[in-house]
Structure 1
């Protein structure tokens, strides 16, 4: 066991978490995608964007999404700058999608708990 607790979320889009609908406004879709990442990380027991160390964004229109992604990056991660890769793609999972986010996060508290459990098993 590595002693790390990580979260990995490929393919989080900007759909409304209640209705599943994707906004027709690209900026609203980007905002919602970032909110969805936060919600997923917290639901799994993490602390959200503050634990993210790697981000990949996929966009069907880089010019339309780039500035809004940067604004969200600054909003959700004002105190750190995870590695970010921005990829232009021809299409995403749904025809109405313009952006998708993939993240990896490390939970230091979860890592410490995992190490303590591993040490207890070794005794």
Structure 2
């Protein structure tokens, strides 16, 4: 679909795109930006062993991808899905993290508990949809 704009920001997203043959995000003609699941990896694709650190990194990775489209970040998210290995532990930090990151904004959310994610060491993955503000003429 050559009419769509796919973006893989430099760093871990670009490496994941090359390694696993998928895109980090796509901009639809409607202004909707769809971001593939972002895990808790750092710039070198290292994944810490604890849930809190992975959540912090996953939130930062979502921001990085959205900002590569010219968006603000989480402020433009209208829908998100979290996939967690160990939902009880994840929820203890996901809710406060969201309140801290976007205190005045409440996107719709589906939280799913899963037995495993794409990489064995992953504990969290966050997928979002955002809307680009209308372009001013």
1:38 to 55, 59, 63: 63
Q: Whose radius of gyration is greater, 1 or 2? A: 1
Residue ranges of structure 2 left out of the alignment (5+ in a row): 1-27
The CA deviation at 1:3 is: 6.3
- Poorly superposed stretches of 4+, deviation over 3 Å: none
Counterpart in 2 of 1:61? 86
Matched positions, count: 110
| TM-score (norm: length of structure 1) | 0.83
CA contact (8 A) 1:50 1:77 kept: yes
1:88 to 92, 96, 113: 113
Relative to total residues, which structure has the larger helix share, 1 or 2?
1
Structural RMSD (CA): 1.6
Counterpart in 1 of 2:97? 72
The structure whose RCO (Cα within 8 Å, separation 6+) is larger is 1
| TM-score (norm: length of structure 2) | 0.75
Counterpart in 2 of 1:28? 53
CA–CA distance in structure 2, aligned partners of residues 61 and 52 of structure 1? 24
2:39 to 5, 8, 13: 13
CA–CA distance in structure 1, aligned partners of residues 59 and 96 of structure 2? 11
